[in-house]
Amino acid sequence: MDSIIKLVPVFKEKIWGGRKLDTEFGYKIPAGPVGECWAISAHPAGDCTIATGAYAGNTLSWLWDEHRELFGGVEGDRFPLLIKIIDAADDLSIQVHPDDAYAAEHESGSLGKKECWYVLSAEPNQTIVVGQRAHSREEFAQMVDEGRWSELLNEVPIKVGDFFQIDPGCVHAIKGGTVVLETQQSSDVTYRVYDYDRKQDDGTLRPLHMAQALDVIDYDAKPLASGELPAAEGPVQRLESNECYTVDLVRVDGELGVATPHPFTCVSVISGEGTICGEPVAKGSHLLALAACDKLELAGTMELVLSYL
């Protein structure tokens, strides 16, 4: 039985996407603006196929449904996480996500969407939208109606290596010239507040979801000032831990063993190259370590992001 599997990524064309998934990561992507690599996903909108081992050719959702013992028997009606690389050549819409309770009620039983971003690249003097300054739904709606975006939105300067936790209810937008690794709940529910009046190829505007957004925005959240991480005190740095996921940044220079006593561990190589348990990997490699893998044997010079329950 394979304790680590490789998956075939699913690529998503987006109006704001670019070509860096090809030029910077070497993925074979479709023509046109490609904004997202769903690298580890069992979501119906992008269900990754297993590339290696005894279960090759099956989907990750099939493995979750049929062989839950490989995931330590953890409960849940769907594989709970989704790992993406997002290449924003243009600004993403101003948007917000619901929590589990709202999504379950209003989005056909979907999970909500808690997510986090690790910045892989950003153009000089780039910013990102994380949070807003209205204190009520009435004030938010009025500021949107009056186009007071610079007053309303909280823009934060960013650089490579910054990290942002985006809770449900947090208004946010990745801006053009930015690439991030995203760990999120397995959900595809997004409420758009504003999309810059830009037209799709067929001349139509993408739909907005102001009513739902006003329902779910957290008007009490305090706007962030920075995504800068504290200095690391060792090779493994905790980025975030909440009820949905824990995310660690791992820096390898030589050899390193990292214990993985989890039902599963999502592994993404974000720079450099080396081996994981003897398997050659490089920037853009994504692996899923199953419950039987109790330790990652790492060698080389590389950075990885690990995500798990």
Among candidate residues 148, 192, 206, 251, the one labeled active-site is 192
Phi-psi domain of 128 (left: phi exceeds 0; alpha: psi -120 through 50; beta: other): beta
Q: Look up 137 and say whether it is catalytic.
A: no
Q: Which H or E run includes 238?
A: strand 236-241
Q: Which H or E run includes 216?
A: helix 210-216
* Bridge partners (DSSP) listed for residue 121: 179
Report residue 289 as tokens. 């370590």
Query: Nearest-CA neighbor of 291 among 74, 79, 71, 80?
Result: 71
User: Among positive and negative, which fits the CA dihedral 242, 183, 165, 121?
Assistant: positive
- Give CA–CA dist 24/5, Å, rounded: 23
Q: What are the DSSP calls for 102-159, one per residue?
A: HHHHHTTT-----EEEEEEEE-TT-EEEEEE--SSHHHHHHHHHTT-HHHHEEEEE--
What are the catalytic residues?
A: 192
